Amino acid sequence: MIATLDQLIAALANNSEPAVINKASIATQAAGGFSSLWRATGTPAQGAIPGAAAICTKSLLGALKGFASAGGGESVYLGRLFLLSGNSATSVQLHDRLAHMGGLSGTVTTAQTVGVDVTSLIGSRCAADCQAVQWWIEQYTAIGTTAVSATVTYTDALGNAGKTVSVSIGGASPLNQPSRMFPIPAPADGIAIKSIQTIQHATTGTAGSYGITATRSLGGLSLGLANSGVVADWAGLGLPQVPNDACIFPIMICGTTSTGVLYGNAELITG
* Distance from chain centroid for Cα 217: 7
Query: pLDDT tens across 6-44, in order?
Result: 888 888 888 888 899 999 999 999 999 999 999 999 999
Taking 50 as the pLDDT cut, the residues of the chain under it are none
Q: Measuring CA to CA, how many Å separate 19 from each of 94, 140, 156?
A: 12, 25, 35
> Quick one: which of 147, 153, 205, 154 has its CA closest to 180?
147
Range of the domain at 117: 5-270
Domain count for the chain: 1
Asked if residue 192 lies in contact with residue 154, where contact means CB atoms within 8 angstroms, the answer is: no
3-state secondary structure of 234: helix
At 239, the amino acid letter reads: L
Output the pLDDT for position 9. 86
